[in-house]
Structure 1
Amino acid sequence: MRMSAFSVVQAVIIVSVVILDLGVAQPINKTTNINNTNTPLQFFCGGNDAKSATTFSRNLNFTFSQLRSQLSTTGVYYATARSLDDDEDVVYGVAQCRNYLLSTECLACFDVAVSVVGNCGSANGAHVFLDNCFLRYENLDDFYDDPQGNLNIDVLEKCGNESTSQPITAFNQAVGGLLSDIGIATPRTSDFYIASIRQVAGANATIYAIAQCIENASQAICKDCLSRAYNGLNRCLPAHEGRAINVACFMRYSEFPFFQNNQTINFTPFLPGKGSSRKSGIIIGLSTGAGLLLILSLFLWFGRWKKSKAVAKDTSESQGARCYSYENLKLATNNFSEEYLIGKGGFGEVFKAIVDSGNVVAVKKLRVGFRAKKEFENEVNLNSNIRHRNLIQQLGWCSDGPELLLVLEYMPQGSLDKFLWGEKKGTLSWKQRSDIILGIARGLVHLHEEFHIKIIHRDIKSSNILLDNDFQPKIADFGLARFLSEDQTHVSTGFAGTMGYTAPEYANRGRLSEKVDTYSFGIVALEVISGRSCSDVNYSGPQIEYLLDHAWKLYEKGTHIKLIDEAVDPNEYQEENVKKIIEIALMCTQLVSLRPTMSEIYLMLSSEPQLEQREMSRPTYNVDRRIHIVGS
């Protein structure tokens, strides 16, 4: 018989609890200057033993192997798994790493966690908390679906045993203000995670802090848990460091660095009354002005690259990317033969390859030329530092041969367009389509508002969205991306992108802001819903019209549900949900001053059952909507 959720909580209270002493500061890595170890903070062993030690051990090992396999994927920080045997000794597991970790660092922490819970023997439940990760297993799955039960367990604060060396009042104000802000903002982010820093007023000191909720929590649960974590850490002050621990959330601060300065998340847009406007957490989707985002010239990065290639290489390697040998990549692709070719476009070709004793990767070969070199350098500098589950991960590069090569994570399902109007047309279910739309939005939120610098992709389109084995989307091809400066509202630049997807103010006047990606997202969302290309004019009906025209006319008539791909089973979706997503997509194509930000779009897609009734303006169009790419 499986334990009830209540009995699990009882077990946690009465079980053996091991609390490890944090009385001394964690050692600092002299190479990276990062104050971080995998020392266990606390662990619990369940009070009930498994029915069969042999069966339980087999099930537990299988669950752990599944969790580890998921966490080995770049950009994956949260994993759930269960054993195959459906008996009394079934094992459900969940693991979560901090988002500042490389995959190898996440796995190292997970391995330590597994070794710690090994001390629980045949107890059929356990939790372990470390600075870098969290592991839990039980013989019931309630904690997957009902994280509210996690809040029955108190948030535990663990305070350092030394006081800060900084002025106490200024230190307490800096820590309290930072923890308050990230506690409020984290439940509003796409990943329930924020890492940030703050200077201590009047002192040469920096406070480092993170907040993270378990991924299956609701926004309300995350908010409640972090509120209690904040209260607990306030009791630690003026200790130089502190942690607040719960199976639903984790919060930590320290006057010593435990993540890199370039791994911070810009949380200002997620604070009420700051950044993008909100109404009690309900996103109306009306933004004013031309946007927050400005572009730093590519030539700044180009010059930076030329001044110190070694520095760029060091930066990339610090995030897990590496420089590959041209000869090794040539050998891995059988001299870039057709049998290894998996894609091609205006940029060049992409090949499947096996490197490093069995790792499957994609090798992107850029056509040699000035533009190719600019795009290559842009991608190397930019993508080496990006780690997010909805953004393609750059594993390495090569510039010592006749071609410029990028080594990227391999996406087995290929690009989204193949499933919409290509050879796999009509095979996506509605759930897969809605998850893809949400995932693209989540990736753009990270680029625009969560990464430590602001980035505009400039070429969001269905062929640049790749799908993994679970049909989760990853935004690819950062060759045209631009860094943004926060002291401008837009930048005027030469057009570079794909007509049909790009916003008219950029295509026609060269006015570039984050809202250019918003427009492109809206077009892609309409493509995912309809299964039609934005450039396709061969519709059956009284008129020949582009997809955006067609969607708007249906919306004006109140019949926009007709836009959905006929290949989708009507039993798979609720009409109101489909109509809501269509309306959000159309919001994205309005005048730039009326377009919502991507964080607003993400919250509308993930939180609100329906949109407020309001008048929308007709979409804006490009002078020429034919598909082509123009260099900047």
Structure 2
Amino acid sequence: MQRRRRTGRAHHHHPLFLQAAAVLAHLLLAAGAGDAGAPAILGTVCGNTRTPNPEAFDVSFVTTLEMIYQNVTRSGFGAAGSGTGNNTVFGLGQCLAYLSSTDCQLCYAQSRVKLPHCLPADGGRIYLDGCFLRYGARNFTADSTDAGDTAVCGSNATGGGAPGFAAAAAELVRNVTATAPGARDYYYASSSAESSGRAARAYAAAQCWRSLNASACAACVASARDRVLRQCLPGAAEGYGLNAGCVVRYSTRPFYLAADAGGGGGGSSTRHIVVIVIASVFSALAVIGIAFVWTKMRSRRDNLHDDMDGSGEIIRAIAASHLSFKYEELRRATDEFNQINKLGQGGYGSVYKGVLPDGREVAVKRLFFNTRQWADQFFNEVKLVSQVQHKNLVKLLGCSVEGPESLLVYEYLCNTSLDHYLFDAFKKNALDWERRFEIVLGTAEGLSYLHNASEIRIIHRDIKASNILLDERFRPKIADFGLARNFLEDQSHLSTGLAGTFGYMAPEYIVHGQLTEKADIYSYGVLVLEIITGRKNHNSVASSAEGLSLMALIWKHYNAGTLMELLDPNLRDQCSEEEALQVFHIGLLCAQASPNLRPPMWKVVEMLSGRAKVLPRPTQPPFIDVKGSNAKSDSSGSTSLLTNSDRSPFSLNQLSVSGVEAR
């Protein structure tokens, strides 16, 4: 039962980058480098019962998946629960043992984006090629089988019909399912013996979720085994048994070799070397192909029939305007992009300090495009930032679009970004109360301009400390508009792929993918609370003696009337209690779970300026049930479903992520 279909908006993109990327992708695929896309979805099962309170259920859903995420990315497995009463959500996620840590994170990220399609059903599960994710209103983590179990069979085009394959595959499936319950992490993989005959070699693996015990695992893989043998063999070259508590798989392909488990590893090293060599050769050819395409495209830039998306028009307009910089000039300004001049690394490129021939200092953002999406980020940033001017927005000076790579040129800000000061024990001394309040107010004014006062209505989508730059007087300027989106006058929201930074993304955006300015307001609220406490939202679980997240700590002290205990010690005696509590209060108002209760940014500016005398009482923020290893049980409704070996403080990377958007 799908609740919605996500749609994206068309963006301008350079035909050169698209054709070059297509050449590269084609050559790498021809070389056997494999599909670099998202893992395939094997099956999705959504419940038939609707949750009675979708909004509250959504908040618990996101909290639970956040808790799971922190453990899956660390150990490949996570199980948790949060919420109370009808709004309780349990969840379980696991990667199969043959996935690398990176592939596990990518697989989980894909499942996390797709599983909300089951909402508002009170339960759902999704099986991807390499990982599993499930949520429900009851604790299902001990279930080994249920009515949703199924089998998925591949085609018989290759290998499945070869003489002897069915018998070899069936024997192998029985072997791995008999061994898995007693193996480490309930995982076992193996392959059939080499054959001098015509039979294709078979590969198989079985794994149970780590929430089961050995007897439940044995029952699960036995059930999945019987279903696969009955429904997929003898004809199919590949088959999956997808149960509530396990997965069983066989194939003609050595899908599990990266795990180095069981048998079947013979020849894998040679195969990988061959693939790498071939991929390298074809990558070199791809570079030549890209250069050829670049030359041809430059000679035909003025042909409108080769520019159906309008990006050529943008390029010509940029080249003829004051925004245009010569590539060689910027390359020399940065000393050929010397690492000494590197200011930072973002999700879409690196930033370097440069000095122009006239002595001006600039920041040069260097972007390498190998996908359509990255090309979109460049044109999106040029279009949006060149149309907005505000004292609290970083000024775009221009760009280069005629060299081998595209570059953005911004004003240089000597004090880099807020996170370099705020979360450094020594540097944060430079951020006294006056400067921090100016950063809070200036960021609010910049966002208010983007949301309401500029000619186009813009949502930034990635407000966080590293995207707030500081000038020589520590005045804030919002930077990095690569993920920003603009609204038409009659639009209430955008349906878009997931993009931003976990920990700063609003719950309704994560669950529904519907983007409004309320998502920026939530991110701003988190940022304000970080500024006044001097603590990272992500790292606060590990550093808290109570094992609580920053949100949970602030909410607990707010209810107890002891918020001043969380004020950054560096700010003591620099401000009055009234001033500090006002900023705490405004941060909580912006970070409320319900988007309708968050004040618009123009109202936030009023509150900070003292023009709003009475502030409403904030409601509970989301994600306050996320706990670490030091957490003690209480009545909050948060449930830990992890074994002792899985417990450890959470630590999240503050990475910007961008989901694939439908076109």
- TM-score, normalisation: structure 2: 0.47
- Give the structure, 1 or 2, with the largest relative contact order (CA under 8 Å, sep 6 or more): 2
Q: Which has the larger radius of gyration?
A: 2
